Amino acid sequence: MNRKTISFSILSGKGGVGKSNLALNICYALHQLGRKVLLIDCDMGLANMDVLLGIAPEKHVQDILISNQNPADILVPFGPSSSKGSLDLLPANSGMAEFAELDDGARGMLRDKLNPLASNYDFVCMDIGAGISPTVLGFSSMTTLRLVVVTPEPTSLTDSYALIKVLSARHNVQDFYIIVNQVESQSETKKTYSRLSAVCKRFLGFAPEFLCEVRSDRGLIEAVRKQRPLMEIAPRSPAALDCMTAAEKLEHLRKDLLIVGEIDAPLRSVAVHN
């Protein structure tokens, strides 16, 4: 029985909110805290983690399903270490329409194949596509925690509420943590989180927790252009410092969850409630 690995998914109600960049840099920050981290690109239709890192992997997550590849053989180390087992990516292949939506059987098979590998890490992060498709809901409900990325835009708030509502109703999960991204001030952060929290509490009966804010940072644009993590090229920039704050809070959550001792496997089976 696994007592070490905590999994979290990073998801959003709408696209374009900076979700993948946050996943990459939070994982990098967790590694800087001395943790072993596995990042899985779960956007099966429009994967882009390989682009953000400037790599061209020969194998992808889809190969686990296509040709029964061993997940360990697909790993791509990134960051300061060139050896596997420290800070690794399981890349996905973009533009494969037949894998954009996976049925329950395929997701379950993938989960079972990934769990032995995932148990070697302290954290497993699943970078998941936006929206409320069955694949998004299925993958995000497998993880211990869900980090929902929102921006101050009204459409982001509306879509994030819809995502939380559907996940709660269909998969009976309530472990949501909010990251307010691309903010200009603390007052903007507070207003954004308060609006989402209030509507969830009123209509769903619970409020998601606040994890952190991530400030607007032009350094992120430069990092994307250079195809390197912001944590690597500008670790003292505002957004990088905020990603470190997120990592530190996740580390505290991990310690609390391990004390409770209810973590059976990195990625859990999913129950659906109609």
Q: What is the full per-residue pLDDT of the chain (274 aa) written as tens digits? A: 444 899 999 999 999 999 999 999 999 999 999 999 999 999 877 778 999 999 999 999 988 988 989 999 999 999 887 778 899 999 988 766 666 788 888 898 999 999 999 999 999 999 998 999 999 999 999 999 999 999 999 999 999 999 999 999 999 999 999 999 999 999 999 999 999 999 999 999 999 999 999 999 999 999 999 999 999 999 999 999 999 999 999 999 999 888 876 666 799 886 665 5
The Cα angle at residue 248 between residues 245 and 249, in degrees rounded to 5: 90
Domain annotation covers residue 215: yes
| Domain at 41, CATH number | 3.40.50.300
Domain annotation covers residue 267: no
In angstroms, the CA 160 to CA 137 distance is 13
The DSSP element (H or E) to which 225 belongs, if any, is helix 218-226
Domain span holding position 239: 6-260
Domain annotation covers residue 144: yes
Domain annotation covers residue 266: no
Domain annotation covers residue 48: yes
Domain annotation covers residue 234: yes
Domains in the chain, number: 1
E strand residue ranges, the chain: 6-11, 37-41, 76-77, 87-90, 123-127, 145-150, 176-183, 209-215
Domain annotation covers residue 131: yes
- pTM to 2 decimal places: 0.94
Domain annotation covers residue 248: yes
